[in-house]
Structure 1
Amino acid sequence: MKKYFIQSAPFVVPTTDGKLIEEHHGLTTQNRDVSIAHMVAPPGWSEPFQTPEFDEYTYIIKGKKQFIIEGETIVLEAGQSIKIEKNTRIQYSNPFEEPCEYLAICLPAFSMDSVHREE
């Protein structure tokens, strides 16, 4: 039995907001410990505020991404990364003119039940 798994066909999460989400590892691969996703947020994209039950690490590959973290606005650019601790109120968006490509790593794995989005 091999002690590794090469992901060559990530799960593409269906979205209605134009955002590309390719989950390479996470609940879709039966991994509850961590999720790793490649994402592209189109210009003008945003999500509602949320208070996740997981730590989230984001690494920006191209473009810029805006974070509102407990009332503080932060903009990351390509080559920068951030760790946001669990149980932190946050909103993610791309109010800029170019798409934002990034990697997101969640510990434990992302799930809709543990993200607690405000509607």
Structure 2
Amino acid sequence: LLDNAVKYSTDRQEIHIAVSASFTTVEIAIQDFGEGMSQEDKQKVFGRFYRVDKARSRQKGGNGLGLSIAKQLVDSYKGRIYVESVLHHGSIFYVEFPILLDKAEIEKNKKKVLTKNL
């Protein structure tokens, strides 16, 4: 995801990375300010060998497997990966992973937060 963000942030060479957590998930967001993609591309981008812009992709290297592999890895950890994108304005890729705690640990953490906020 980071490699793609660097490759496709051509005009505005900047990437934003954010990490957040809740009681049950950890979320990582990677934002680039590159070419972005259409709604149709967003639905296909995690498919094997899919490339958004065939002509430009050849210049940048790669074979269209990176996002497919990322999706398989995230899925194998019971996570979720998705993208928000606007054509010509960049993309934000989100990766969410569950935090694996037993129910007693979750309740204990919730009580800590509730009493801390009171």
**Is this a same-fold pair by TM over 0.5?**
no
Higher fraction of helix: 2
Computing the radius of gyration from Cα coordinates, the structure with the larger value is 2
